[in-house]
Every structure is written in C-alpha cells, then in structure tokens.
Amino acid sequence: MDFDWSYTIGLLWSRDFWDATLLVVELSVATWVLAVVLGFFVALADRSSLMVVRRAAALYVWFFRSLPLLVLLIFVYNLPQAFPATSALLSVPFIAGLLAMVLSETAYIAEIHRGALVAVGKGQYEAGRVLGLSRAGIQRLVVIPQALRIALPALGNEFVSIVKLTSLVSVISLAEILLVGQRYYTQNFKVMETMVAVAVYYVLIVTVFDTALKAFERRLDFSRRLAELTTEDAEPSGEVARTIGDDARAMTAEPAIRLEGGGKSYGIHSVFENLHLSVKPGEVVSIIGPSGSGKTTLIRSLNGLETLEHGVVYLEGKPFLAGSREKLSKSVRYDGVDALRIGMVFQNFNLFPHRTALENVMMGPLYHKRGSFAELRNDARTLLNQVGMLVHENKYPHQLSGGQQQRVAIARALAMHPSILLFDEPTSALDPETVGEVLRIMAALARSGRTMVIVTHEMKFAMEVSDRVIFMEQGKVVFDGSPELLAEQRKQDGRLAEFVRH
Ligand code: ADP
Ligand code: MG
C-alpha cells in the first residue's frame, strides 16, 4: 500500500488544522453551553402548569428534532436572501452555524433535562414545600442540583455528538477541520492520508473534553463523597427542649389546628366527606386505621400538600386553607408564613440527598434568613444533638441508616420551630431494629408539650404517647378518644379490637 505517513504526520503540525481545531472547540463549547441552558428552560416549560406553555415546548422539541441539522444549517445561512436585515449576523458563517446548532441541540438537550427532572422525585418537592421554599427556591436549591447530576453523563455524551456534528458546518464554508482537510486533498489527492489526520484531530478533541467531563461528574457525585470518619453512634440525648411553657399560644382556647367539613375525592372515588378534626395546643393525636382509609390524605390536607374540595383548615383560629369548592378559597391563600408553623415528617424521610445532615437541617432556616449563619449552624447542631445525630452531621443521607435519616428529618422539621408537627407513618419505611430510636425521639417530643398529629401503625406507641387516638375507617372517624377509652371500647367493638391488638 502506498500511504504517505510523513505527510499525515506533517499535518499534525499544520497551522490550518490547529486553527480549525480551535474553531471546532469554540463552536462546540458555545453550542453545548447555550443548549444546556436553553434546553433547561424548554424542559421547565414542558412542566409548566399553563397548557399553552407546555404545548409550545412540545412543539419546539418536536419540530427541531425532526429537522436534519444539514437542512437547518443551509436554511439559516441563506435566511438573509429572504430577510436582508438578518444579513449582518447570519452571513457570518460562525454565527449562522452556531444558531442552527443551538436550535437543534436545545431540542435534544431539553429531553435530557426533562428526564432528569422527572427523576427527582415528588417527595423532594414536597420536602422543599413544607420548609416554605418558593417554587423558584425549590428549583434552585433542591431540584436543579440533583437534576444536573443525573443529566451530566447524558449531557457529556451530547457534547461528543456536537463535536462531530460541527463537521456539517463545512457546508456553509466555515473552515472547520473537515473543510480544511477537503481543501488539502482536492489539491494533492492524498484523501486517505488527509482524512487520517482529520480523524486524529476529532478524536483528540473528544478525548480531552470527555476526560474533563468525567472528572467534573465525579466531583458532582455526592454518592462518592466520603464522610468524615466518625467513631460511634450516639444515643439520642433525649433532652428535647420543653416548648409548652414558653409558648403563650398554648394558653389560648383556640385549637392549634382545626379542619371543618373536610371533603376530598379522586375522580369519582370519595376519600372522605364532611370530616372534622380539631387538635388543641400541646395535644398529641394519633390517627390509626387500615390502609386506604384516608389517613395520609387527611394529614396532608392540613398543610396544603393535598387540596381539599370542601372544608376549611383553621390555624390557631384563623382560616388558613380552604377547599377548592369553598367560597372562602378565593380569599384564603396558602400563606408561606403561616405554613411555616406546621412542620412535617414523611414516611420516606425525603432528605435532600445532595446535602449533608447538617445542611439538610439548616436549609429551611437559612433560606428564610432566620439568623446569621453561625447562629443557624449552632441551632441546627443543637437539634442534631437532641436526635443523637450530631456525630453524623457531615454525612450524606445515603451514608445513614433509615432510622438515622428519619432522625435527621425530624431535626430538619424542628429547625423551623413549627408550632405543630405532622408525621405520616414516620416508621413504616424503617427496618424493625431502627423503629425504636425514632419512636423514642417522638415520645420525648410528645412529652415536651409539642402539638403533634401522628399517622401510625405503632399501636403500643400510640397508646402510650397520645392524648387522643383517632381510628379511621373508609374515610370516617369511627373512634375519637383517649387511649384509656380506646382500651375500654375495644372490649366491646370486635372490629376495633382486631385492629388495635397488634
Ligand atoms: P391511608 O393513608 O389511610 O392508607 P390514603 O389517604 O393514602 O389512605 O388513601 C385514601 C384513599 O384515596 C385510598 O383509597 C387511595 O387509593 C386513594 N388515593 C390516595 N391518593 C390518591 C391519588 N393520588 N390518586 C387517586 N387515589 C388516591
Ligand atoms: Mg398512608
């Protein structure tokens, strides 16, 4: 075979090729950065609550993904023929090339972002919401950091595609690597030799950037971060500060929280109708009952995570939330400040996985600027100490057991100093051996005079800790009274006895 190696190797020092390489890098990086940013907005638009915005986003993605880049390039470059006003910009091949590539890549990258946004679970949004974060705040602090990490491998892959796609801009006579190669071999007919050099340049660019992106990916990956070494697990200190004594609200006659005439249905399926619930300040109320009886729906409608159709929720006597079909609903808004008075602990903890235990606890107070960083840090550490998690303050959620995560989640809810704490089956997702550590902390909170509403299956705990137990069945309250009364009644009521036995 007659292959001119010395010519090929000579091309690796060619000024023309290095200029073209620089141009490809500039064009690729600019396309990628712009498309990553714009694509994110298209992905957000796709999740908008406004139908027209969603439609526009879908139309954009559909259209620009269907159009071959080559067609788009020629079209954009020749646009000045129809619209001479665009000629100042679009007759510059770099700008025309960049525009066409960004239009097309934004559509692809929007789909990558969309997948990543979907992968950030609903629980993360809800956790942000119960800390009183605004929609923008949730995106910035909770969703985007997680979505970016999820999307990064795919985004890196897209960068590689973009580098290769730049070869198409040769059609609009932008002197990128392929075009330089073509110019060489049309003069000397050394097609193979020239194309080998062209290939080397592309491979070089992709390799350099791929390595850099992988390194970046590793840096972002919190699951690889090692926690500082900690020696031993601390038992909860159990010293939960008393709240009732210094809480003047406890003295008022108004219930801490009250639901009047609550009604909720999913489609034709009614969960409950005309349901009442009233919780006095300092009272600990457990809600028990078989699965599907509406306990979760009830507790989530108290803080607006679920929207009722009927009924009004009063917070310390003031209307706070109103069902969508209530006249009041126009005048009662989900008020961010009032909402902060209700803390919530979820079944699946919903800790922010990209933040350490300490950062999880500090997120709410920092966001609401409840004090200086040092003060809030101190406060958060005190709370972590109360739940026995101070030794793990710098660990990420995935480095903690379920029980430990739930203890951090309790500290996170306490950090906003809420007047009412809601728990939705806080121990149901735990291994049996870690249930106790969470229940102990909840019992200490209950003893300290906190107002608590707890949905639970832990009968023994409910009987020991609660002032009142509510038994729900098929959306109806079938028992509401003291644990002593419940113990009494179950002797007569077979159904109650069957449930309360375990
Ligand atoms: P519990 O917490 O007591 O197990 P839930 O409040 O979760 O009960 O559910 C009450 C009823 O509402 C169940 O029949 C359940 O299937 C239904 N339900 C709950 N959430 C939804 C939803 N998002 N869409 C449709 N049905 C739902
Ligand atoms: Mg439930």
Residue 286 Cα to ligand 2 midpoint, Å, equals 13
Residue 415 Cα to ligand 1 midpoint, Å, equals 30
Pocket test for ligand 1, best of 271, 306, 347 (most atoms within 8 A of CB): 271
Bigger pLDDT: 47 vs 499: 47
Least trusted range by pLDDT, from 145-154, 156-165, 230-239, 357-366: 230-239
Residue 332 banded pLDDT, cuts 50, 70, 90: low
pLDDT by residue (tens digit) across 177-220? Answer: 999 999 999 999 999 999 999 999 999 999 999 999 989 888 87
Mean of pLDDT values over 263-268: 92
pLDDT by residue (tens digit) across 394-421? Answer: 999 999 999 999 999 999 999 999 999 9
Task: Classify the C-alpha dihedral 243-246-252-253 as positive or negative.
Answer: positive
pLDDT by residue (tens digit) across 292-316? Answer: 999 999 999 999 899 999 999 999 8
Residue closest via CA to ligand 1's atom 6 equals 294
Mean of pLDDT values over 119-142: 93
Q: Which atom of ligand 1 is nearest to the CA of 425?
A: 2
Q: Is 68 in the pocket of ligand 1 (CB under 6 A)?
A: no
249 pLDDT exceeds 50? no
Nearest bound ligand to CA 289? 1
Nearest bound ligand to CA 267? 1
470 pLDDT exceeds 80? yes
Mean of pLDDT values over 466-493: 91
State the pLDDT at residue 403: 95
Pocket test for ligand 1, best of 259, 265, 266 (most atoms within 8 A of CB): 266
**Placement of tokens 């509406």 in the chain:** 294
Residue 308 Cα to ligand 2 midpoint, Å, equals 16
**HEC-encoded secondary structure of 383-430:** HHHHCCCHHHCCCCHHHCCHHHHHHHHHHHHHCCCCCEEEEECCCCCC
Q: Which atom of ligand 1 is nearest to the CA of 294?
A: 6
Residue 224 Cα to ligand 2 midpoint, Å, equals 33
Residue closest via CA to ligand 1's atom 1 equals 292
Q: Is 428 in the pocket of ligand 1 (CB under 6 A)?
A: no
State the pLDDT at residue 142: 96
CA-to-CA distance for 350 and 414, rounded, in angstroms?
15
State the pLDDT at residue 499: 74
Q: Is 395 in the pocket of ligand 1 (CB under 6 A)?
A: no
- The per-residue pLDDT of the chain, averaged, comes to 90
H helix or E strand, kind and range, residue 271 = strand 269-279
Q: Is 231 in the pocket of ligand 1 (CB under 6 A)?
A: no
156 pLDDT exceeds 60? yes
Mean of pLDDT values over 256-265: 94
335 pLDDT exceeds 60? no
Look at residue 312 and give its three-state secondary structure.
strand
For residue 257, list its beta bridge partners.
Answer: 279, 315
242 pLDDT exceeds 50? no
With b for 16 or more beta-carbon neighbours within 10 A and e for fewer, the 205-241 pattern comes to bbeebeeebeeeeeeeebeebeeeeeeeeeebeeebe
Residue closest via CA to ligand 1's atom 23 equals 266
324 pLDDT exceeds 80? yes
Residue 144: phi and psi, rounded to 5, are -60, -45
What Å distances lie between residue 224 and 147, 232, 352, 358, 398, CA to CA?
Answer: 17, 21, 16, 18, 10
Residue 292 Cα to ligand 1 midpoint, Å, equals 5
What single string gives the DSSP state of each residue in 60-126? HHHHHHHS-HHHHHHHHHHHHHH-GGGHHHHTSHHHHHHHHHHHHHHHHHHHHHHHHHHHS-HHHHH
State the pLDDT at residue 239: 53
State the pLDDT at residue 372: 96
CA-to-CA distance for 442 and 426, rounded, in angstroms?
10
Residue 299 DSSP symbol: H
State the pLDDT at residue 406: 96
State the pLDDT at residue 465: 94
CB 175 within 8 A of CB 27: no
State the pLDDT at residue 5: 93
pLDDT by residue (tens digit) across 277-287? Answer: 999 999 999 99
Portion of the chain with pLDDT greater than 90, in percent: 76
CB 353 within 8 A of CB 434: no
State the pLDDT at residue 368: 93
Mean of pLDDT values over 358-370: 96
Pocket test for ligand 1, best of 277, 293, 308 (most atoms within 8 A of CB): 293
CA-to-CA distance for 78 and 120, rounded, in angstroms?
42
Residue 296 Cα to ligand 2 midpoint, Å, equals 4
The CA-to-CA distance between both ends of the chain, in Å, stands at 85
Residue 130 banded pLDDT, cuts 50, 70, 90: very high
Portion of the chain with pLDDT greater than 70, in percent: 91
Residue 293 Cα to ligand 1 midpoint, Å, equals 7
CB 353 within 8 A of CB 405: no
Residue 231 banded pLDDT, cuts 50, 70, 90: very low
H helix or E strand, kind and range, residue 490 = none
Q: Is 294 in the pocket of ligand 1 (CB under 6 A)?
A: yes
pLDDT by residue (tens digit) across 40-95? Answer: 999 999 988 899 999 999 999 999 999 999 999 999 999 999 999 999 889 899 99
Residue 406 Cα to ligand 1 midpoint, Å, equals 23
State the pLDDT at residue 95: 94
